[in-house]
Structures are given as C-alpha cells and as structure tokens.
Amino acid sequence: MKNKILRSILILLPAVTVAVTTYAREDHKAYRELKLPECAECHTGSGIPPNHGGGWQKEHRILAAGPNRNCYDCHDQSTCQDCHKGGGISAKLSGSQWKRDVKPASHRSDWVSIHPIQAPSNPQQCSRCHEPPFCANCHGRLNVTSLTIRDHAKSGSTQAYIAAFPAQHAAEARRNLASCQACHPDGNVCLTCHSAKIGVMVNPHPKDFKAGRIQSRSNNRSCRVCHDF
Amino acid sequence: MRKKKWLPPICLLFLFLGPGLSLAADLRFQSSTQYLWYTDPFKDKDRSDLVQYLKFGVTKVEPTSRVSAVGYGRLSGQFGGETDPRQGDDGILGRLYFLYVNYALPSDHGDVRLGRQYVSIGAGSGTVDGISAELRNLGPVRATVFAGYDVRFTETTDRTRPGNYLAGVSVGGSFLTGNNVDVSYLRKYDEDDVIREMVGVHADQRILDRARAYADLRYDVLHGTYSEFLAGVKLFPFSAPVTFTVEYFASYPTFDADTIYTAFAVTQYREVVGRVDHIVTPRLTMYGVYTRADYDGPTADIGTVGVRATSKQVPGLGLNASMDLRSGYPGDLTGFQASADYAFGKAVLAAGISYDVFQRDSMAEDFSAKKVWGGGSYAFRKNMTARLRVEDTETRQFRNEFQGRASVDLSF
C-alpha cells in the first residue's frame, strides 16, 4: 500500500511541477505599450495566434471569458464597459455616438436603418450589450405606418399583421423572436392567438418543449400568463 | 420627494475616495468633460448634453500595496430647448460603471473584488454589485466566483433591485501541454425567481505550435437545450504571421424566463466562417472574411475585406479601409468604410467616410446611407487634451443628421 502511494506521488510530482511552471499565465504588463503588429514577433511560432486583429470584436468573447485571460494586464474594466455599456471617457476620434453613449464600429453608417439586416445573425449578440427594454425604447415610439416588415405589410393606414399568411408569420417569428419582443415587450399581442385561456389557442411551444424546469425555477411566472394553475 | 437618479453613484464615489485621500495614497484620475449635440430621431429636434466622465484608481493604500480601489462613472445633463422627459425633473442622469476595492492575493494567486464590477465567465457576463474572487497560478487550476445584485443598465440609468441577483462560478485548468479546459455556471434572478441558468464549457488545444483548435458551448439549463455552440481551428503554419481561421457557430436563441417569449418555438441560426489575417509588415495588415449564414432555410453570403496601413514616407499617417458585401436573407448590403489619421507634433487630425447601399427585406426597395466625419485633437499639456469630432449622416430617409462631440480630457 505504501509503495502504491509512493509510486503515485513520484508519478504525479513531475506532472504537477511541469504544470505549475509551464502553464503559469504569461504576464503582459511589460508589453502594454507595444503596437499590435509588434506582438506578432513573439506570437509567431509560440502556439498563440496573433489577436486584436480585424475580427477581434467578434473573437474576443471567448478569450475574455476564458480561464486563462490576461486582459487586465493591459486594460481595466472601462475597456469592457465603454463598448458594452456605452461609456466614453477614452472615446477615439473615430468613435461615433448614440445620444450620450459611444457606439461600437460595427454599428455602421445609418445603423438605425441597417440593424434589421444584422439582428437576425446570431440574435443573442445584441443582448450582450442591450437589455430587452433598449429595443422597446425606440420601437415603442415608432410610427408603425413607416415599417417595412415582411409579415407586417401596410394595410391601408395601419401596419397590421396579415392573417392571410400565418405560416410566414410563424417562420419569421421563429427566426428572430427578439424582433417581436422589440415592439411587443410584454407579448400581449401574441396572446390574441397563442393563449391557452382565450382565442384560437394556437400552441406556440416547440415540439420537445421542456416546461418542467422553467415552471419550477421561475415559480410558473411566465406560464401563468397563458395557463391556469 | 422626487428621487435623484444621479445621487447614489456620486455618494458612493466620494465614500470610496475619502479614505484614499486621507491616507495620502497614490491617486490617479482621468476626466473627460464632453459637450455633445445630436438630433433626436423621434422629435426631429436638436439636443445637447453636457457629460462628465470620471475614472480613478487608488493604490498604495497600505504598506503591502495589496489593496487598491478603482471607480468609473459619468454624470450627464441635457439642456437647451425641449428636454427628454425621461431624463427626470432635474435633467441630470448618473451611470456608475464600476466602483470596487481590489485585494491582490499573495504571490499573484489572484484578486478579490468588492463593489460594483464587470464579471465575465464562459456561461455569461454582467455587472454586479457584489463580490468576486479570481484565483490563478494554483498549479494548473484557475477559478472565478462572483455573486451580487444584478445591475441592469437602461437608457437613462443603472439600477439594482432586491430580488435581482447574478451569481456564477468557473473552474478551469491546463492539464495537458497547450490545453485549456473550463466549466462554468451562471444563474440570474429576477424578483427572486430564476430567469436564466446557464452552463458554459470551453476547451482549446494547441497543436504543434502551428494551430489551435477550440470549442465553446453555452447550455441553457432552464430550456434544456444548447444556447450557443462554437467550434473552430486557427492555423498559422508559416513563419510569416498569416493566420487562417475556420469556425462553425450555431445559436438557439433562448429568452429570460420572466417573459412569455421564453416558451415560444425558435429556430437555429448557423454559420460557417473562413477568415485570413495577414500581418504583411508591421506597417501593413490585411484580412478577409467569408461567412455562410443559415437561418434554418434561407441563407446569406457575407464577405469582408479590410486593410490597415501606416506610411513610412509620411510618418504619423495611418489608413483603415474595409469593404462589405452581403447577399441573401433577410437583406442585402454593399458598403465600405475608410478612415485616415495623421499625427503631427501635439496634434492629430482624422477623417472618415462610410457608405452603404442596402435592401432590408425582399419587399423593400434599395436605400443608401452615407456618413462622413472629421475631427482633431491637440495635447495642450502631457495630461490635457482637447478633442473635437463632427459627423454628418445622410440616412435612408434622405435626412441629414448632424452630431458632434467636443471634449477636454485630463489625467493626473
């Protein structure tokens, strides 16, 4: 028994020693003043690809949230907050703004008009910076007759949902449900057809809907809107 | 009694600053006073804001220099003409981005932070009024844990409420050569109900110092489905810094459980990305990206090429340009962005243009939009810089929106 323990220690000790010395996080504080292309001099052949390039805005999420991150060697939390929450103490000359908040470079030219094209591409990307009320703040104040949405085509002077094309409405809603929430934050308009209490009672749930955890963890909160308990 | 939204952040700021000043610790401030003007798109009226940013850091509070404090916030006031009624009665708004005390553990084993702070782990991110601990250099293992009130930023304020919490934990390590593995868990509460419960799993592996493969998963526990999945490989096979990236990404958008949208059927979004980055010389970098996006049926092709360059003949001159082409669902876009900056002496001049032609939907017609901007800065002293930026956007409604920012930045 003692031999087994001794053998295990002898095997594990070098592994732990190598791990401690090899995988110590590289401290980048000394390099914080370098220009980005200069970083490639070390990174080439080191097994760490150069980063902070043209695609960094999209790529940084994984590295910044990872266990081996070293963002704080060069940045403080304002780097995160300035983009994610609109701060602007270090606003660059190239940095535009939306009212008081600095806008990231991805929000190109007439972003108010262009964002419906970008929003369905990974719908979760918007919510990394914006809480749901952010969309409703604008959409709730829009003149609805000015919208040009596939399933909300103009009908006289209104922007009513075209009931003649329910399949298209369903497909569009499933692809970008957040866009429904943008104008109908509490979803009351959906209940006209999708409630289990009133109307035509069309089931909106996915086929393999797992209600159990939502019910138990959130105290039936969203379920009670449509169902009696 | 009317509530002053800007008062709590300011009180907190002075509460933290007081002890630091009295101990004659090392204090560093950064301030930016900005005058902004813009057009309110809903009222079609010009508005002006005066914004004051302040960021500070206090170190060397005690002999071991383990304790430090940092803070960052802003006050803004709107004036002139008709102000936005959501600004409150006094028209002044406050936003506190972070304000925390940091205790550095011995031997660079990590940090413990108390106060408002930005937190991020594989399962999610957010801002909390609470506590976090980051442990590292403990052999191959690293860990992050945090808990606190969930801070939610809205257009006019940031707030915490009893019953709204955010908590998370992440444990990771490097167990093989060039390997990182991380498992994380995040839970979000609203009025004491769990509205979001996520598990994140990340793994990456270095391959022969010439490639890195990675996979990242966010699993939504409440909905019993994955929320986001990313798998990719980066290849850098040559001695010259050329990086090839191939990624597969899939997203199944789930909603917080405090809304009925949480129970609605949604479809997958998938994309495959191919990307090349080339640092040709320290003065010239180029990149190209192709994305094939699949919206569970309809598809889109998206391409971007870009270049960044600095001039050897004209020191101080920098150029950026990119071109985007997008075709497919839900709309098309062709556009380019270009900008140049020129630094000479204590001054910097910069200008740029962005032009897009787009069709938002197959039922909509083509529109175009153009944005031109220009600006400059001048460093009066090493710690004092004035900046001016103006921008004119011609929107798809053929309306010009003119906005700008004049600022004086100080650091001491």
A194 has a pLDDT exceeding 60: yes
Q: Is residue A104 part of a domain?
A: no
A205 and A172, same domain (yes or no) = no
Q: Is residue A26 part of a domain?
A: no
Range of the domain at A159: 128-185
Residues 273 through 312 of chain B touching chain A, CB cutoff 8 Å: 275, 277, 279, 281-283, 285, 287, 289, 293, 295-297, 300, 302, 304, 306, 308
Q: Which of A67, A85, A213 sits opposite B180 (nearest CB)?
A: A67
Answer yes or no: do B41 and A218 touch at CB < 8 A.
no
Instruction: State the nearest Cα–Cα gap between B260 and chain A, in angstroms.
Output: 5
Q: Is residue A44 part of a domain?
A: no
Q: Which chain A residue's Cα is nearest to B38?
A: A99
Q: Is residue A134 part of a domain?
A: yes
Q: Per-10-residue mean pLDDT for chain B, 412 residues long?
A: 55 56 76 91 79 93 89 87 61 89 91 95 93 89 94 82 94 85 95 94 89 93 92 86 93 88 90 93 92 93 95 92 94 94 95 93 82 96 95 82 93 90
A96 has a pLDDT exceeding 70: yes
The predicted pLDDT at position A23 comes to 44
Q: Is residue A173 part of a domain?
A: yes
B5 touches chain A (CB under 8 A): no
Residues of B in contact with A192 (CB under 8 A): none
Single-letter code of the amino acid located at B248: Y
Number of domains in chain A: 2
ipTM over 0.95: no
pTM for the full predicted model:
0.86
The predicted pLDDT at position A16 comes to 45
pLDDT tens figures, A112-136? 888 888 888 777 888 888 887 788 8
Single-letter code of the amino acid located at B56: F
B29 touches chain A (CB under 8 A): no
Six-digit token string for B37:
């003007």
The predicted pLDDT at position B301 comes to 96
Q: Is residue A53 part of a domain?
A: no
Other Cβ atoms closer than 10 A to B298: 14
B83 touches chain A (CB under 8 A): no
Q: Is residue A111 part of a domain?
A: no
A214 or B334, greater pLDDT: B334
Mean pLDDT computed over every residue of chain A: 77
Q: Is residue A71 part of a domain?
A: no
Q: Which of A128, A149, A181 sits opposite B361 (nearest CB)?
A: A149
pLDDT tens figures, A22-69? 444 567 777 777 777 677 677 766 667 777 877 788 888 888 887 677
A178 and A206, same domain (yes or no) = no
Q: Which of A46, A114, A121 sits opposite B209 (nearest CB)?
A: A46
A43 touches chain B (CB under 8 A): yes
Phi, psi of A22 (to 5 degrees): -75, -40
The predicted pLDDT at position B272 comes to 97
The predicted pLDDT at position A201 comes to 86
